[in-house]
Structure 1
């Protein structure tokens, strides 16, 4: 599994997903390229070539000439709906953007705008990709499923945050961009003194009340909020932004931080849980390459980026000199670092 992916494998996967070919192969027993093509209404030559292509990565297996069966890999397209959503999202939303990213750098040199990227050219749009996806309920649901699926990996587990940061003195917390409240629920269970406001877009926060366990309903509340607008919750002890900043360019991350300022009390903590790329040479080649690929993938999508320690500190400096950068900690086994700052200004 790789977000950038091998281009030929992803081409084959995109074809399979676009025409729902996995559903046309029986779970037990075999079928033929001819039968699949007939059921899908596709040219048998194309079906044969694409399925033989992906078979090189063990996605389907040709048992004899023209006969095909599922493999453990291809069955995942049927047995694991969230993985299927992840693959479809990469194939349809992200992967085409990579092919036009260099074109975008030529057309919009140095742009930090989300609507001036490889996605803009490959999807023929002048809108922010998030807005494009949001207009289609099926694509929006798939995108939200992808976020949930991605964080099922143990390196993204919320326990790394809970064990890596002492929230003991935090009695009121705002989970900015808190989605479905998974992190808020985990925090509320561990810290029975904590009250939490979960903020997100209306279509995301909808239904939060049903997800909150009954015993936590008096301590977790949902709120519609656009994090580019002034923060409406005044005087909280801490503001948490988990897996938010990597979706935006530096310009817009500075705006997110500045939108917090009007509501911050002295010594309020800003806690960011996101990827921090180590210094060059600190990782092995393969691990470093994976992070660099993710960085370029985010550029291709909407000119967002992954960041190193120097860049994280720079964001706070640019946002407001009254932010005191407290440093970065990477819990053992975690993919996402804990980036901290404190507000040193007076009461707002």
Structure 2
């Protein structure tokens, strides 16, 4: 019988280590602005580049040769470095550059301290008791910590927008699948949608464009919402408005038809998600809908191994960053149940081709909730 040697099983683990070492090289390249100091259409020696960047030539050469082995830069002759198509993107594409910063300087250090955090704060759901907290030496939550530095904050926002450019995350899946203007009757009276944590208003603008009887209020923190009106087309002025609001405080807009949370709850632990939902309750009218657009993890084995692995990576990334998590259907339902028994959980649907699900609940108020779907 043919028996595989234990050495055959090293490869997956070696690959993981190789990826970490490449990231180490990219962190060095980003932090010291290496790409910007290599001529776009010419070459430069390692020694010359070391002088320009004020770095040790031997260290620089070793870090760059790791990147060169993956076609980030090239060494056309010994001791000389030039750009490749990949390395040029680090100069020419600010979104990619911001994303690399986010991975190398924000997330990766957090990953390396996450096991330490679970030992220091076992089972914690607090956003300041994480691998990120230990790696960055902060007792603030990551969002507040990043916000302290304007450039760092802007880079973080840009990185998030770059991540969301993936076709599977396109807002068309939400807009084509969920009818924000549908009242279930011929009634076309004005409906109000509150986009909580709605950033630059991209989703709200699309909703208002599709439904002439829908008005949207975009809520986010003051510095995020400040530029909203410059993004709103003239034809939608008055129907798409902005409001400064922290969703960890009570909801100020009472009586809206739909409260939308897109890419929000996966950033927070269960305890904080329950608080976010409870903050809505005083504002809710009977029949109001809570629409969550976020990842919903299928049962183990329902996806191909690559797709499931990606979701598991995302889940543990959220743990490292903010003690947050990705959730399955049962976990989504539990959030609403724990927040208040008057929420009627309507279920989870996944538009074909999308990576994000639509999770919906209805506020029943004093009316006895019907059985969930």
2:371 equivalent in structure 1: none
Cα displacement (A) at 1:61: 1.1
CA 307–5 in structure 1, closer or farther in 2 if over 3 Å, else same: farther
Is there any run of 5+ residues in structure 2 with no aligned partner, and where?
1-16, 184-190, 368-373
Count of aligned pairs between the two proteins: 344
Is there any run of 5+ residues in structure 1 with no aligned partner, and where?
none
* SS of the residue 1:280 aligns to: coil
Inter-partner Cα distance in structure 2 for 1:35 and 1:221: 53
- Indicate whether 1:54 and 2:67 are aligned: yes
1:172 equivalent in structure 2: 192
Inter-partner Cα distance in structure 1 for 2:19 and 2:218: 37
Cα displacement (A) at 1:5: 9.7
1:333 to 353, 357, 362: 353
Contact 1:13 1:54 in 2 (8 A): yes
Cα displacement (A) at 1:30: 1.5
Higher relative contact order (CA 8 A, sep 6+): 1
1:274 equivalent in structure 2: 294
1:98 to 100, 111, 122: 111
1:45 to 40, 58, 66: 58
2:158 equivalent in structure 1: 145
1:283 equivalent in structure 2: 303
2:140 equivalent in structure 1: 127
Contact 1:265 1:346 in 2 (8 A): no
* SS of the residue 1:307 aligns to: coil
* SS of the residue 1:253 aligns to: helix
1:301 equivalent in structure 2: 321
Runs of 4+ in 1 over 4 A off after TM superposition: none
Cα displacement (A) at 1:135: 0.8
TM-score when normalising by structure 2: 0.90
TM-score when normalising by structure 1: 0.97
After TM superposition, list the pairs within 5 Å mapping 1:190-229 onto structure 2: 190-229=210-249
Cα displacement (A) at 1:6: 2.3
Inter-partner Cα distance in structure 1 for 2:301 and 2:68: 36
CA shift digits 1:156-204 (9 cap, x unpaired): 1110100111122261100000011000011111111100100001111
Contact 2:286 2:363 in 1 (8 A): yes
1:324 equivalent in structure 2: 344
